[in-house]
Structure 1
Amino acid sequence: MQQLDYPAWLRVEHWLNVLFLTLLVRSGIEIIATHPKLYWRNDSRPGTEWARFTRKTMPKDRLYDTLDEEESYSSLVSLPGHKKLGMGRHWHFISVIGWILTGAVYYVLLFATGQWRRYIPQDWSLFPTAWDDLLTYLSFNLPPLLPGQPLDALQKLAYAAVIFLLAPFQIATGAAQSPAIEARFPWFVRLFGGRQAARSLHFLGLVAFLLFIPVHLLMIGVWGWPELNALMIFGDVRDLNWAIAASLLILAGIVAVHVAATVVSLKRPRSVQRALGAVVSPVRRTLLRPLKSTQAYPRRKVSVEHRVNGKPPCSLEYKTMAVHGFVDWRLEVGGLVEEPRVFSLADLRALARPQTQQVLHNCVQGWSSIAQWGGVPLQTVIDLVRPLPGARYLCFLTMQDNGRDEPGAEGAGQFYEVVDLGLAKHPQCILAYDMNGDPLPIKHGAPLRLRLETQVGFKMAKWIDRIEVVSDYAAIGAGMGGWREDNVFYDKDVEI
């Protein structure tokens, strides 16, 4: 076998790639467990999924929400497992950052050192040669290496596809699932066929990685694992036994990271939420917070059926208001404001001509749907109460008893959400009282809900009856920025 040149930086990058990829795979499985179905159409209509990873069947004779569809996967396959979407998201995003930074350094050094010639085809004749190599492999023989190179033609094309096509494809389809990117650049998501198509393609990209890995390991074994392993550890083949020991030690370290991540996430989720959020949140705010929604889906794209997430209030007071068309309902807006106000539903409708928007709803679980929402711009209401200096956040208090949605979680009770005051200025941030041309249905948040199109769905509080303007949210609940952030450890800023 021809001597290979594996510089130290490439060897380090190789093992970092293994670490981040395995973290991405396990945390990605945790994320898909919350809605274990894949679609090609944006409406995610029940029964139209092309793949499902659950045996659950939903009832047709009563209302259910998407939390009822959630699966609990074992920690052996998902990170951390057991319906911990908040933890899964934290690990997925920190791993994405690590993987992209590792890849960026890899690309720079690949071209700076000339190593790119090992992987990028430079002659069209390589393609028929690769076909001949495949036939040679199928005959259980080894094809010849390319002249002056350490790979055969088929290996070169496979590595080039993974490095320069599959990896960027995964990043692009992952970005296409960001509500902020989708809201600001709808054309980008349309390149992949829509939000759900991007999610499906992202999954298929994962499958491609999972297929590549065993083939890659098989090829290493066929061409001589001890020597190739030694080259990836020490850069030479002088100490085969030490190289084996070192590689096993590295793999044990990677496994130890996974075990520690799983155990700490299950036993000390608040610590993980704070630690990983301290890294992920600034990156997310820097890259995605400036994006503002410019969506304008045509009326024909409105989904026939919009999924339900969250169970409506069940109090006698709410039911009485609902029976009477919410004429007695009031929205209180107070806190750090010069002029606290109370609005009836009729008052809100009279404030301004209803703003309507046909937009894509992105649930944190993964499903999506297009609807037309009508209401009053949130900024119009905020301007009337005139926030005082120091006001930075809006806390939305609702009539929802979240103990019905998350019966096993601590803090069951009134649902609340905190958003940055600056988001109220976004052009498609409204307090919605209409949906698809009719009054907002009870199951979707009547009489009033928030629409903030650059965020995932759980931030858009439903069944609102009070907005509190505050300077800080540290004293609200557990101080993490909302009911789900406090009790099921979601991230506060959810532009992705």
Structure 2
Amino acid sequence: MPSAERPRPPMETIRRHGLVTRLTHWTNVLAVLVLLASGLQIFNAHPALYWGETSTFSRPWVAMAAVERGGEFVGLTKVGGAVFETTGVLGYSGEVRGFPAWATLPGYRSLADGRRWHFFFAWVFAINLAVYLAAGLIGGHVRRDLLPDRDQIRPRRILREIADHARLRFPHGAEAKRYNLLQKLAYLIVVFVLLPMMLLTGLCMSPAFGSVGYGLIELFGGRQSARTLHFLSASAIVLFVVVHLAMVVASGAWNNIRAMVTGRFAVRPEEAGT
């Protein structure tokens, strides 16, 4: 029988994600979304970033503002020595503000309400991260699923995976039953670098923490440097989320979402070399 006429074998279903991984994943999604939106509300109170201990108002390295030209406001965003016109999004979006109302929580101007949302979900985020790390280390999820295998770190294998991702070619069969190297590296960086940095730099901006954790503030280069690193780590997480969602859709949205809801992931057995 020609191969084109062979019946397609049934899908093989494997257990991809444990209960704790799934619960902490969705809790983290909610917490990070609220933290980002409320963080932009807080940022709008002073839409500029500096390096060092204090704010040098005349020399921000990032700043959002609005200027009047010909009777109309124009939004401007400064990054280093470059200035970009960002009317409608940054600096001016119907009113003078850093980020537009649709991106902030709450949508109306309120530093106090933004801080309430931010601080409450910061605790949700911190506790959830601690639960994930503890369960992952004790249950073996980190060692089993996130640490690269020896065969995955061979130079030829790394180059092949980068090329496959660039062409949106994703692993199948036995290879699809585990995270590939690029996935593992991305998750390790997010879980063990970006998320902890966002948490620690956020603590550095708290006046109450400054009296007991000044050494950490100095480690980050000062309170304003910590604020800048907080913003940059949050921006990197946004970039990760955008790429992550694109990969989820490109590699099979329903299968990936079902795996993170039920824990089950479908793989075709003939592609596993069986």
| Aligned counterpart for 1:16 among listed residues 23, 27, 30 | 27
Q: How far apart are residue 92 of structure 1 and its match?
A: 0.2
Kindly state the Cα deviation for residue 147 of structure 1 after the two structures are TM-superposed: 5.8
Q: How does 1:144-223 map to 2 (within 5 A)?
A: 149-223=177-251
Matched to 2:49, the amino acid is L
Residue range with higher mean Cα deviation, 104-113 or 197-206? 104-113
Q: Which amino acid aligns with 1:210?
A: V
Deviation, 1:199, is 0.5
Deviations 1:153-181 (A, max 9, x none): 11111111111111111111111212233
Q: Deviations over 1:240-292 (max 9, x none)?
A: xxxxxxxxxxxxxxxxxxxxxxxxxxxxxxxxxxxxxxxxxxxxxxxxxxxxx
Question: Aligned partners of 2:62 and 2:47: how far apart in 1?
Answer: 8
Q: Note if contact 1:20-1:96 (Cα within 8 Å) is conserved in structure 2.
A: yes
* Alignment-derived partner of residue 48 in structure 2: 37
Structure with greater helix percent: 2
Unpaired segments ≥5 residues, structure 2 = 1-11, 69-95, 267-274
Letter in 2 for 1:18: V
Query: Does 2:65 match 1:54?
Result: yes
Aligned mates of 1:204, 1:29 — CA distance in 2 = 12
Question: Which residue of structure 1 aligns with residue 130 of structure 2?
Answer: 104
Match of 1:119 in 2: 146
Distance 1:226 1:101, change over 3 A: same
- Describe the shift of the 1:12–1:34 C-alpha distance in structure 2 as closer, same or farther (beyond 3 A): same
For residues 77 and 173 of structure 1, the distance between their equivalents in structure 2, rounded to whole angstroms, comes to 22
Contact 2:14 2:177 in 1 (8 A): no
Amino acid at match of 1:181: F
Comparing 37-46 and 147-156, the one that deviates more: 147-156
Identity %: 31
Distance 2:262 2:252 in 1: 16
Flag the 1:222–1:43 CA change in 2: closer, same or farther, 3 A: same
Asked whether the equivalents of residues 204 and 216 of structure 2 are also in contact (C-alpha less than 8 Å), the reply is yes
Cα distance in 1 between the residues matched to 2:174 and 2:225: 38
How far apart are residue 233 of structure 1 and its match? 1.6
Task: Output one character per residue of 1:440-480: Cα deviation in whole Å (capped at 9) or x when no partner.
Answer: xxxxxxxxxxxxxxxxxxxxxxxxxxxxxxxxxxxxxxxxx
Indicate the SS of the match to 1:44.
Answer: coil
Distance in 1, Cα, partners of 2:160 & 2:241? 22
Give the counterpart letter for 2:227 in structure 1. R
Divergent runs of 4+, >6 A? none
- Alignment partners' CA distance in 2, 1:131 and 1:169: 29
RMSD: 2.6
Q: Tell me the TM-score normalized by structure 2.
A: 0.74
What does residue 6 of structure 1 align with?
Answer: 17
In the alignment, the residues of structure 2 paired with residue 124 and residue 201 of structure 1 have an alpha-carbon distance, to the nearest angstrom, of: 35
Q: Relative to 1, partners in 2 of residues 1:141 and 1:91: Cα closer, same or farther, differing over 3 Å?
A: same
Checking the alignment, whether the CA contact within 8 Å between 2:34 and 2:121 is kept in structure 1 is yes
> What SS does the aligned partner of 2:201 have?
helix
TM-superposition CA deviations, 1:193-236 (whole Å, max 9, x none):
11111111110001101100111111112221111111212223
* Residues 1:235 and 2:263 aligned together: yes
- In structure 1, runs of 5+ residues without a counterpart are 58-69, 239-496
Specify the code of the residue in structure 1 equivalent to 2:206: S
What is the distance in 2 between the residues matched to 1:24 and 1:73? 15
Map Cα deviations across residues 71-125 of structure 1 (whole Å, 9 max, x no partner). Answer: 3754421111332000000100000001111111111211222111211235496
8 Å Cα contact 1:130/1:153 also seen in 2: yes
> Does the 8 Å contact 1:72/1:82 carry over to 2?
no
Q: Indicate the SS of the match to 1:16.
A: helix
Name the CA distance, whole Å, in 2 between partners of 1:225 and 1:205. Answer: 27
118, 137, 148: which one aligns with 1:92: 118
TM-score by length of 1: 0.42
- Partners of 2:114 and 2:233 in 1: CA distance: 19
CA distance in 2, matches of 1:80, 1:150: 40
Q: Which AA in structure 1 matches 2:264?
A: D
| Alpha-carbon spacing, 1:83–1:156, altered in 2? closer, same or farther (3 Å) | same
Give the 3 Å change call, closer, same or farther, for CA 30–8 of structure 1 in structure 2.
Answer: same
**Mapping for residues 66-465 of structure 1, pairs under 5 Å:** 71=97, 74-116=100-142, 117-121=144-148, 123=150, 126=153, 128=155, 129-142=157-170, 149-236=177-264
Letter in 2 for 1:113: G
Is the radius of gyration larger for structure 1 or structure 2?
1
Q: Secondary structure at the match of 2:53?
A: coil
* Aligned residue number for residue 3 of structure 2: none
Report the AA paired with residue 141 of structure 1. R
d(CA) in 2 for partners of 1:134, 1:225? 21
Alignment partners' CA distance in 1, 2:154 and 2:216: 31
Change (3 A) 1:100 1:145: farther
| SS across alignment from 1:76 | helix
**Larger RCO (CA under 8 A, 6+ residues apart):** 2
